[in-house]
Amino acid sequence: MADCIARLPEHVANQIAAGEVIQRPAAAVKELVENAVDAGATRIEVRIKDAGRTLIQVIDNGVGMTEGDAQRCFERHATSKVRSADDLFEIATKGFRGEALASIAAIAHVELKTRREESEVGTRVLVEGSAQQPVEPCTMPVGTQFAVRNLFYNVPARRNFLKSDAVEMRHIIDEFQRVALAHEAIHFVLFHNDTEVFNLKPGSRRQRVVGVFGAKYDERLVPIEESTDVVAVEGFVGKPEFARRTRGEQFLFVNRRFIKHSALHRAIVEAFEGLLSPSAHPLYVLFLTIDPHRVDVNIHPTKVEVKFEEDRSIQALLRPAVRRGLGRFQVAPTLDFDQESSLNIRELEPGATVVPPQVTINPNYNPFESERPSAPRSPAQWLEKRPSSAAIGAWQAHYAAVEVPALPKTEPSGRQEEPEVARTLFFFRNRFIVTAIRSALLLIDARRAHQRVLYESLVEQLESVAAPSAPTQTLLFPEAVHLPPADTLQLMEAAPWLRKLGLHFEAGSDGVQVTGMPVEGESTPKDLIDAVLAEAEEEVEGISREERVAAGWARRLAHRPGKVLGKEEMEDLVDRLFACSTPARDPFGRPVIVTFEDAEILERFR
C-alpha cells in the first residue's frame, strides 16, 4: 500500500496558519503595529483604504532591519524575541511567535521597506503569496514601512466572509486604540481613505485616554491606583453616570498587553454594584503590572487570553481597588471614620441673648377651600358646593351604557372581521388597550404595538427607493452629542441612510451636531445615536444592520411605559397596528396581542 501522508507545501501551510492568525484586516493591523512598537518606534502612522481590503500601510521610525533580517522575517517562526523555551516565560514584548509576517505574506501582496541608522540605503522586499521577489535597494528614512495590498486575494472564500466596511473598520479602530492606550509615550496617527481619524501625541496616560475617547471624557475619569506584592493596578474608571448601554469602553492590560479575562471583568463590574443599572457598561482603562514569570501569555493565537499563577489574588484586589477609587472621589458612598462626629454649632457671641424659635399659624386656614383663607363656612355654604344633579346624571349615563366594541374593517385583503357595532376602547393599567371583535376580547400592549408600527414604518423608508425621507422635525438649536473619534467616523459613514429615517446631523469638533429628529416618537438624539453605534460592532446572520437599527429606534421612540393614551390616540394606534404585516409580535418577537375567546370567558363563569 502506498504512503498516504505527505508534507504540506510551504505556501499551503502558511495559508492554513494565516487562518488562525489573520482572521480579518484588523488582525494584520494589530500585528504590524505591535512589531513597530517592539522596534522602539516613537512615531507610528497607519494608513487604511477600504477598511483594509485595498491597503494596510504601517510606517514607523524604529530601529529598522538589516538586509538579511528583511528577507528572513517572512519565514515561519522567524523571530528575534525567543531563543529557547525558557524565554516564553520572560516575554516583555508584543510579538514573539514569528508567525504574523509569514501569515500575512501568504494571503496578500506585501511590500517591505526598511533601513537601519548605520546603513546608507534601505532594503525593499516584495512578497506575493509567500513567493519572495529579489531584494532591491531603496531610499528611505530610518525605520520600517509595511504595505499590505489586496488582503485575501488568493483566498476568495475568506474575503467573501468579511463584513461591511463599517464593521471591519470598527475592528481596526479597536485594535489601534488598544495599542495606543498601552503606549502613551508613542505618537500614533491613523488615516482611513486619506481622512485623519486619530492623531495621538505623546503624553500622560490621562491625556492618551482623553485623546482616544474625546475631550469630554476628562471630567468622567476616576483614577485608580493600588499596589501589592503580587500585582500593581493603576488606570482609570468612568463615573457611573456616564456609563453607556453599549460595550466597547472596557480595556484591561497586563504588562501593557491588552487582554480579555471574564473573571477580572466581573470583579471590576461588581465594584459598581448599586451604582449602575443592569444594562449599563462602565468605562475602565486599567493596567496590571505583574512579574512575567507569574503570567502565561502563550495560550491563544491572538495573545488576548492569559493565565495567572495567582488568579484569585488578583480578582480579590481589583474589586476593592476600584471601589476605593470611586469612594475616594465621592462617587460611591463610603464611611469616613476620621470625620469629626460632634455637632457643628456656632459659638454664642458674648452678651447675646438666645431668642426662642417662633411658630406662626393661620387658625382660619382650610386646605379644602380653593378661595383665599376666610371665616369658616356654614353647613349651608358647603351644601352649595355639592355636584349638581345634572352632573351626577351625566356620570351615571357615562357608566350605564357600555357598547360592544369591534375592530374596523381593513383593506380588502385585511385580516380582521367587519365590525358589527361602533368600536369602544379603553385603557387598562396604564399599559393595555382593551377592545373586542365579534367573538373575542383583545388585550393590546400599547408600547409594544407602537414599537411594531414604528419598526415597519422605518423599514419601509429604508427599502423604498422612490419614497422621500421620513418626516423630520428641525431642531431650533442643534444639539451636540459628544462622541469618541471612532464613533464619529462610524456615524458619518451611516449618515446617508440615517437621513432616510429622519435623523439629520453633521460632524462637529468633538462628535456630531444633530439638526433634525424623526417627528414621531419620544426620544433624544443621544439615545438614537447610541442605538446606531450599538449595532456597529457585529452583523447578525439574515438581519441587516439597518433593520437592527430600525428595531432599536422603535424601542426608543415608542410611548414610554405608563403613558396614558387618549381615545383618538388609541384608535389611531390600533388602526395602524392591524395594517402592519405582523401585528401580533413586536420587532423583538414578543407578543403584542392577547386574545380571550368568548368560550374561554364563559367557561370562567361556570
Residue 307, pLDDT score: 81
Residue 465, pLDDT score: 65
Q: Which helix or strand (DSSP H or E) is residue 147 part of? A: strand 143-149
Neighbouring CB atoms inside 10 A of 525's CB total 20
In angstroms and rounded to an integer, the radius of gyration of the C-alpha atoms of the chain is 34
d(CA 2, CA 82): 40
Q: Note the helical H segments in 415-544.
A: 446-463, 485-493, 495-500, 525-534
d(CA 221, CA 201): 19
- Sheet architecture: strand order including 284-289: 221-227, 232-238, 284-289, 250-254, 257-259
Residue 1, pLDDT score: 60
Q: Which amino acid is located at 461 in the chain? A: Q
Cα–Cα separations (whole angstroms), residue 88 to 18, 23, 76, 132? 22, 24, 17, 30
Bridge partners of residue 225, in order along the sequence: 234
Largest Cα span, the chain: 120
Residue 273, pLDDT score: 86
Residue 353, pLDDT score: 73
Go through the domains of the chain in sequence order and give each one's CATH number: 10-203 (3.30.565.10), 209-328 (3.30.230.10), 402-606 (3.30.1540.20)
d(CA 436, CA 223): 60
Residue 344, pLDDT score: 45
The residue behind cell 407602537 is: 450
Q: Note the helical H segments in 9-152.
A: 10-21, 25-38, 67-72, 100-106
Neighbouring CB atoms inside 10 A of 336's CB total 7
Q: In the structure grid, which three cell numbers stand for residue 55, read together?
A: 491597503
Residue 359, pLDDT score: 74
List of the chain residues with pLDDT < 70: 1-4, 6, 8, 10-20, 80-98, 298-302, 330-349, 351, 367-423, 465-468, 536-542
Residue 129, pLDDT score: 80
Residues 217, 206 contacting (CB under 8 angstroms): no
Q: Which amino acid is located at 17 in the chain? A: A
In 3-state terms, the chain is what percent helix, strand and coil (to 5)? Answer: 35, 20, 45
d(CA 334, CA 324): 9
Describe the crossing of helices 311-328 and 262-270 by its angle, rounded to 10 degrees.
Answer: 30
How many alpha carbons lie under 13 Å from residue 549 in its C-beta half-sphere? 27
Q: In the structure grid, which three cell numbers stand for residue 265, read together?
A: 471583568
pLDDT digits (tens, 9 = 90+) for 353-364: 777 777 777 777
Closest CA to 461 of 539, 519, 395, 536: 519
